[in-house]
Amino acid sequence: MAIADIVWGLAAPLAEEKGVTLWDVEFKKEGTDYFLRVYIDKNGGVSIDDCEAVSRALDPILDKVDPIAQSYYLEVCSAGLIRDLKTDAQILAFLGSEAEIHIYKSEDKLPKRFTAVLTACTPEMLSVEFQGELREISRKNISKIKIDLV
């Protein structure tokens, strides 16, 4: 099981306890350092106090479970106003919204990067309205879906 998946399982109930929603978990090497980033969200926005509360609750659990062999920096932060939609639940929450979509290869004469309105989502397909037409894109062909909440 991937580190991000293990941490997701540990962090999701803690986030809920603290009144926020877990948005994403990333474990990345940057230069010589490793970073475990836990992104949270909340209606009305995330405060530094929310980040601190989740960090303080998660840190001792990570020490106890010890899912990461190397040393790392834990960062708990807001999902932000510009964010990637990765899960079905995230996409479904933003149906009717405009998103920037990146695809690996052109499909149905779509450019590799375009803006469209999200209309439906299944594990296999994403439906969008692009230039007034409904289009379906294979989820395997999507490299990124980015939403701007600004």
> Residue by residue, what is the 3-state secondary structure of 65-122?
HCCCCCCCEEEEEECCCEEECCCHHHHHHCCCCEEEEEECCCCCCCCCEEEEEEEEEC
Rounded Cα–Cα distance for residues 118 and 126 (Å): 8
Phi then psi for residue 34, to 5 deg, are -105, 140
Give me the domains of the chain, ranges plus CATH numbers: 3-80 (3.30.300.70), 84-148 (2.30.30.100)
Q: Count of CB atoms within 10 A of residue 35's CB?
A: 14
Question: Residue-wise pLDDT tens for the chain (150 aa)?
Answer: 799 999 999 999 999 999 999 999 999 999 999 999 999 999 999 999 999 999 999 999 999 999 999 999 999 999 999 999 999 999 999 999 999 999 999 877 889 999 999 999 999 999 999 999 999 999 999 999 999 998
Closest CA to 76 of 121, 15, 122: 15
Is the separation of the CB atoms in 38 and 10 below 8 Å? no
Closest CA to 116 of 108, 127, 105: 127
